[in-house]
């Protein structure tokens, strides 16, 4: 399928089913900012919960943090963002639109919007941080930034967390939170947006052990992506060449995914050395060294960072799950999301609206919900239509209450992907689903 068609279909499904809407749509939309609807917000929570579970709850050596979005402005001087967090920008002399100078079309000398040839002015650096003012006075002294990454909150809290949690190096700090970048060329739906959420982990290690930890974390992150059901053949590792390395990195790789618009970054794994801690030590005047309790040696740890977007993970999950199939001449669109990611785990349908079937189905639905299994009750339309709606929503199991239920208290459970149907006793449905969610 051509890239544009594939993305258009996904965008339209996301709107139709309540995953993702354009921000402020009734006003014509806000450029590259998106709102998550009822199913989108559930998918987002599932992504974050699975990341938090793998990175914090299942480990003894990573602590959680939720640092504020607004930080002392000196943080961004120390981190290098005030001077260095820029993209090269050019303006088309014909249509006055601005683009990143490194876009393929721009490098080829043609304006991507009006098509004018060789009409670009000189490239200049454009800082991607959003600026605002703190307090009632709009002056340079009160300038403050919306953070462009969560990482800095972990560096400035390094000693707070190490001391409070009585951690020893090596250990990590994990955060999930909003970040903002005034991207010049956002796009591809939620791939590159101006407001997004990051899931970042900074792992502090003794210098000399950094290469080994880098490899360990890269492996752990690839395993996590596959645990979400992402097809392994759609993932690859791209090491950064010297011209791609960020100002803070000794080594960096992108875990890339093959989106409909090509292989692009999904997650970054970076060896940031002691760049950030040493800069914060210098700019704040506070010692940030770690004292090894065994040797009493003082040192600034190196940092291995894993950094992935929540929205980017959702895009990968949605793209990877989207299928169009023909079943015995019937077309269906299905989102084959891993059950752990699926916003609704089960949909409960009475086959017909009579003979007391709706009451039995409603009781089953309530029982699932009270067992914290997100469930959806639907009695409108033919059973085929109800299945199709849930296939598009990504619901793994549809449960039908029918005439036989009244005789032997069993229901059918239909699997979204294989379409197989099994009969399960009413009292075992919860356990049947829980086993598959936890297993």
Please report, as ranges, the residues that interact with ligand GAP according to CB under 6 A: 149, 151, 181, 183, 192-193, 196, 198, 200, 265, 267-268, 305, 307-309, 311-312
Using Cβ positions, the residue closest to ligand GAP within the complex turns out to be 309
Nearest CB to ligand GAP, comparing residues 34 and 376: 34
Cβ pair 195, 33 in contact under 8 A:
yes
What is d(CA 78, CA 20) in angstroms, rounded to the nearest whole number?
36
Nearest distance, CB of residue 192 and ligand GAP, angstroms: 4
DSSP state of 110: B
Nearest CB to ligand GAP, comparing residues 40 and 396: 40
Q: Where are the alpha helices (DSSP H) in 228-324?
A: 275-284, 310-321
Nearest CB to ligand GAP, comparing residues 32 and 375: 32
Nearest distance, CB of residue 33 and ligand GAP, angstroms: 10
Nearest distance, CB of residue 79 and ligand GAP, angstroms: 10
Q: Which residues, at least 6 apart from 91, have a Cβ–Cβ distance to it below 8 Å? A: 97, 98, 99, 120, 121
Question: Omega into 170 within 30° of 0, i.e. cis?
Answer: yes
Nearest CB to ligand GAP, comparing residues 120 and 266: 266
Beta strands in 55-170 (DSSP E): 62-65, 86-91, 98-100, 124-127, 131-133, 143-145
Q: Give the number of residues written for the chain.
A: 439
The pair of structure tokens assigned to 119 is 């009409």
Nearest CB to ligand GAP, comparing residues 181 and 416: 181
Q: Where are the alpha helices (DSSP H) in 228-325?
A: 275-284, 310-321
Nearest distance, CB of residue 437 and ligand GAP, angstroms: 26
Query: Measured between alpha carbons, how far is residue 321 from residues 192, 386, 390, 407 in Å?
Result: 20, 20, 14, 38
Longest dimension (CA), the chain: 79
Nearest CB to ligand GAP, comparing residues 47 and 101: 47
Q: Reading across the β-sheet that carries 86-91, which strands appear in turn? A: 98-100, 86-91, 124-127
In the beta sheet, which residues pair with residue 200? 175, 307
Nearest distance, CB of residue 183 and ligand GAP, angstroms: 5
Nearest distance, CB of residue 121 and ligand GAP, angstroms: 25
- Print burial letters for 184-223: b (CB count within 10 Å at least 16), e (below 16): bbbebbbbbbbbbbbbbbbbbbeeeebeebbeebbeebbe
Nearest CB to ligand GAP, comparing residues 128 and 379: 128
The pair of structure tokens assigned to 153 is 């909150």
Nearest distance, CB of residue 212 and ligand GAP, angstroms: 21
Nearest CB to ligand GAP, comparing residues 30 and 404: 30
Nearest distance, CB of residue 32 and ligand GAP, angstroms: 8
Nearest CB to ligand GAP, comparing residues 172 and 350: 172
Nearest distance, CB of residue 151 and ligand GAP, angstroms: 4
């Amino acid at each position: 399928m051509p890239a544009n068609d594939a993305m258009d279909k996904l965008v339209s499904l996301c709107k139709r089913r309540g995953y993702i809407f354009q921000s402020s749509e009734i006003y014509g939309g806000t450029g590259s900012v998106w709102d998550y609807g009822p199913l989108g917000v559930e998918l987002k929570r599932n992504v974050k919960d699975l990341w938090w579970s793998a990175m914090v709850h299942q480990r003894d050596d990573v602590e959680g943090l939720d640092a504020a979005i607004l930080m002392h402005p000196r943080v961004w001087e120390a981190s290098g963002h005030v001077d260095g967090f820029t993209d090269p920008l050019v303006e088309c002399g014909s249509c006055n639109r601005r683009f990143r100078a490194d876009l393929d079309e721009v490098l080829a000398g043609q304006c991507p919007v009006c098509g004018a040839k060789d009409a670009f002015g000189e490239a200049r650096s454009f800082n991607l941080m959003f600026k605002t003012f703190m307090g009632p006075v709009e002056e340079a002294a009160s300038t403050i930034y919306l953070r462009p990454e969560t990482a800095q909150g972990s560096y400035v809290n390094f000693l707070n967390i190490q001391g409070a949690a009585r951690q020893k190096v090596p250990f990590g700090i994990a955060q999930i939170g909003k970040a903002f970048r005034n991207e010049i060329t956002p796009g591809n739906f939620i791939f590159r947006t101006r407001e997004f959420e990051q899931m970042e982990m900074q792992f502090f290690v003794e210098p000399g052990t950094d290469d080994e930890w880098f490899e360990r974390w890269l492996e752990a992150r690839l395993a996590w992506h596959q645990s979400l059901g992402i097809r392994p053949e759609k993932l690859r590792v791209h090491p950064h060449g010297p011209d791609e390395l960020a100002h803070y990195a000794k080594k960096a790789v992108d875990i890339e995914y093959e989106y409909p618009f090509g292989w692009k970054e999904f997650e970054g794994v970076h060896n940031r050395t002691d760049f950030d801690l040493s800069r914060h030590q210098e700019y704040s005047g506070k010692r940030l060294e770690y004292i090894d309790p065994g040797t009493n040696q003082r040192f600034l740890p190196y940092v291995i960072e894993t950094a992935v977007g929540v929205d980017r993970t959702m895009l990968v999950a949605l793209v990877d799950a989207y299928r169009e199939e023909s079943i015995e001449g019937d077309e269906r669109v299905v989102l084959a999301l891993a059950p752990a990611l699926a916003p609704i785990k089960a949909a409960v349908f009475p086959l017909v609206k009579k003979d007391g079937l709706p009451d039995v189905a409603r009781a089953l639905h309530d029982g699932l919900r009270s067992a914290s299994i997100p469930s959806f009750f639907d009695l409108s339309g033919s059973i085929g239509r109800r299945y199709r709606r849930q296939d598009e929503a990504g619901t793994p199991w549809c449960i039908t209450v029918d005439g036989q239920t009244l005789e032997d208290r069993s229901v059918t459970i239909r699997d979204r992907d294989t379409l197989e149907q099994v009969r399960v006793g009413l009292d075992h449905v919860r356990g049947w689903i829980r086993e598959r969610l936890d297993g």
